[in-house]
């Protein structure tokens, strides 16, 4: 409990003790009234103050106003009838405050779950001066500075490791407990915790532009984007509260006057009491509190799993997703090209790979890097001369005095070398040495380990169609789609074509369902923006992802997509349960009160009881780990 909650608990305890004591003290007349007024002020002074401030600022019709009028009216009735029964008004306020304390505790619990994510905020950065470490505010560290991160400390800024190696705990960012190894030359993002060695990092971004800063800003502002359900509750409260106040006036004044007009006993005390009870029952606390709390809890629970949802409107949109469109490279595949096969003639496979790696050593293309990685030995560039890159074809070079050509089928045709087609799926690098065909190397983009399972889980979650968009050749695209179980594949697309394909899919789907596009967030920003909901994969450190997407997954595991949809559907289910349950009970109690069947005790138990049940239900949205 925080300080404010403890103070309220003390007030509740004092009021309860005073009520018990007053039940046994032989007080009468004005002294009895003053004693009960004192007990009432102990528990209700803040409600009276808020009601007064609301009236002054033109916001009279809220729950504080309703509670103040109802409880003060109960005191008035006790004085009017000279019954001396002041317990009812105080008890109504007491139970209301107990409900408010419970609600405050529930919201605090939800906030503490998001606070686990907020723990990634760094307190300081270490800068080395004159052989000593000096702690400075991360905001004061300039781009290009060298900072030192010791074991157990948070990485305060994005950068590149210039010395040292260590293991990082990234669970606050990704929701996964698996550590990540880093060494000299590796990029590193803020928010991770250094677990072992000392690291020296050259910063690449100012603190305001760093990953941790953008994530914190995203989560802190998530509540500003309201869902349709929350907007409905706000509109409902603006109409409902004045309406029930008018209804209470009609019960307490119009009905007795009507009875008098027909010659019957007005029964003012009975009807005014009903009107006051009607006001207590009418408080829309369960709706006003539990609906935003459900969304807050859903967003908080998702954040703990490394799924950042930018607002409750996006959580609601995600729940209605029936079509999921994927970018291929970096989303369903690793986006890292690897040598998967070497087919050779006279030369052995290792020699073919060696010639290819040396010939491509001057290139920074991903294919060149994959060849060098597969070769696995240091590249001696002195062995390579006469390198010539032929655009759209490949490379020719002299390696150890031998003429080497590495490229596609066009290069072989250009050089007049007879080559063999390959039926493997992937990029084919044909090799020729001293004018003779030496074989070919197959390079493929590796499918992520969980991609097939992710597609299966999406279908199990109720997604009716999965589509893959890619710029790859049709044969490669269909091979990957078949392996993963994707329903449709659209290949050989330029970046601009992806937006057009998403437009077509949006036109085909049902108006009541949503289309989600999943991309790497770097070059897919236009498509992420155009879809009903954009989901960025593998967004650790990607500014474009955080800016363009509505949902950001802090690791590159496609299984998180299905989990995000399940979290959203659980949350929306809880919201609907609370709306239906609260409205049914509320209107039933209002009808019973108007008929004179319930008294104020029953009214407050109904009001506080429904609120507590709705809040308990809302808290379930936090439990998302096993979804």
Question: What is the set of active-site residues?
Answer: 327
Q: How many CB atoms lie within 10 A of CB 17?
A: 11
Angle between helices 87-118 and 211-220 (to 10 degrees): 160
- Alpha carbon 386 to its chain's center: 54
Angle at 322 between CA 319 and CA 324, to 5 degrees: 105
Torsion angles phi and psi, residue 149, rounded to 5: -120, 115
Give which of 611, 29, 620, 508 is closest to 290, Cα–Cα. 611
The answer to whether the beta carbons of residues 451 and 459 sit under 8 Å apart is no
End-to-end Cα spacing for the chain: 29
Q: Which long-range contacts (CB under 8 A, 24 or more apart) does 548-553 make?
A: 548/521, 548/524, 549/310, 549/521, 550/309, 550/310, 550/311, 550/314, 550/317, 551/307, 551/308, 551/309, 551/310, 551/314, 551/318, 552/218, 552/307, 552/308, 552/310, 552/521, 553/306, 553/307, 553/308
Q: Would you call 313 helix, strand, or coil by DSSP?
A: helix
* Distances 473 to 326, 430, 476, 494 between C-alpha atoms, Å: 16, 18, 5, 11
> Rg of the chain over CA atoms, in angstroms?
34
- The contacts of residue 212 (CB under 8 Å, 6+ apart) are 120, 121, 122, 156, 189, 190, 191
Report residue 509 as tokens. 């789907």
Distance CA 617, CA 608 (A): 14
Angle between helices 228-249 and 268-282 (to 10 degrees): 170
Task: Give me the residue label for tokens 């004192």.
Answer: 38
3-state secondary structure 214-273: HHHHHHHCHHHCCCHHHHHHHHHHHHHHHHHHHHHHHHHHHHHHHHHHCCCCCCHHHHHH
The answer to whether the beta carbons of residues 99 and 8 sit under 8 Å apart is no
Can you point out the beta strands (E) in 50-154?
Answer: 125-129, 132-136, 146-149
């Amino acid at each position: 409990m925080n300080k404010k909650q403890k103070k309220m608990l003390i007030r509740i305890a004092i009021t309860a003790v005073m009520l018990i004591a007053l039940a046994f003290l032989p007080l009468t007349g004005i002294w009895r009234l003053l004693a009960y007024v004192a007990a009432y002020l102990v528990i209700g002074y803040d409600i009276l103050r808020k009601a007064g401030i609301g009236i002054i600022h033109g916001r009279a019709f809220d729950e504080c106003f309703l509670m103040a009028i109802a409880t003060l009216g109960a005191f008035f009735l006790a004085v009017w009838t000279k019954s001396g029964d002041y317990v009812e008004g105080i008890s109504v306020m007491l139970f209301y405050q107990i409900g408010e304390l419970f609600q405050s505790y529930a919201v605090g619990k939800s906030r503490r779950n998001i606070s686990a994510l907020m723990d990634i905020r760094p307190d300081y950065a270490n800068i080395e001066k004159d052989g000593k470490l000096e702690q400075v505010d991360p905001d004061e560290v300039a781009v290009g500075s060298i900072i030192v991160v010791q074991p157990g400390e948070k990485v305060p800024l994005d950068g590149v490791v210039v010395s040292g190696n260590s293991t990082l705990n990234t669970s606050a960012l990704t929701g996964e407990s698996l550590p990540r190894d880093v060494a000299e030359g590796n990029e590193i993002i803020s928010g991770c915790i250094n677990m072992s060695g000392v690291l020296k990092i050259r910063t690449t971004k100012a603190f305001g532009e760093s990953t941790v800063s953008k994530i914190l800003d995203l989560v802190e502002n998530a509540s500003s984007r309201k869902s349709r359900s929350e907007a409905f509750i706000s509109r409902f409260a603006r109409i409902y509260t004045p309406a029930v106040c008018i209804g209470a006036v009609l019960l307490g004044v119009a009905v007795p006057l009507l009875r008098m007009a027909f010659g019957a006993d007005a029964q003012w005390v009975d009807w005014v009491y009903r009107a006051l009870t009607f006001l207590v029952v009418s408080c829309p606390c369960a709706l006003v509190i539990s609906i935003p709390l459900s969304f807050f809890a859903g967003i908080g629970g998702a954040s703990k799993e490394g799924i950042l949802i930018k607002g409750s409107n996006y959580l609601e949109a995600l729940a209605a997703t029936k079509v999921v469109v994927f970018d291929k490279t970096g989303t369903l595949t690793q986006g890292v090209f690897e040598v998967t096969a070497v087919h050779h003639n006279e030369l052995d496979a290792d020699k073919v790979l060696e010639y290819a790696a040396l010939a491509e050593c001057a290139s920074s293309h991903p294919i060149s890097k994959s060849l060098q990685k597969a070769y696995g030995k240091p590249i001696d560039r002195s062995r390579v001369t006469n390198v010539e890159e032929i655009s759209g074809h490949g490379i020719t070079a002299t390696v150890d005095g031998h003429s080497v050509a590495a490229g596609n089928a066009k290069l072989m045709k250009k050089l007049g070398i007879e080559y063999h087609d390959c039926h493997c799926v992937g990029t084919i690098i044909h090799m020729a040495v001293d004018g003779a065909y030496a074989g070919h190397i197959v390079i493929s983009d590796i499918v992520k380990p969980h991609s097939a399972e992710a597609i299966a889980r999406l279908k199990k979650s109720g997604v009716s169609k999965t589509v893959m968009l890619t710029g790859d050749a049709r044969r490669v695209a269909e091979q990957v789609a078949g392996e993963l179980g994707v329903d449709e594949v659209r290949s050989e697309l330029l970046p601009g074509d992806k937006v057009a394909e998403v437009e077509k899919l949006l036109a085909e789907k049902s108006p009541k369902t949503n289309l989600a596009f999943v991309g790497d967030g770097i070059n897919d920003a236009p498509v992420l923006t155009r879809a009903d909901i954009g989901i960025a994969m593998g967004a650790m450190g990607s500014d474009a992802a955080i800016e363009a997407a509505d949902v950001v997954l802090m690791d590159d595991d496609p299984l998180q997509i299905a989990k995000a949809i399940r979290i959203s559907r659980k949350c929306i289910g809880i919201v609907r349960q609370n709306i239906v349950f609260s409205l049914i009970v509320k209107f039933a109690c209002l009808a019973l009160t108007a008929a004179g069947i319930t008294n104020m005790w029953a009214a407050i138990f109904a009001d506080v009881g429904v609120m507590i049940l709705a809040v308990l239900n809302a808290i379930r949205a936090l439990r998302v780990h096993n979804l």
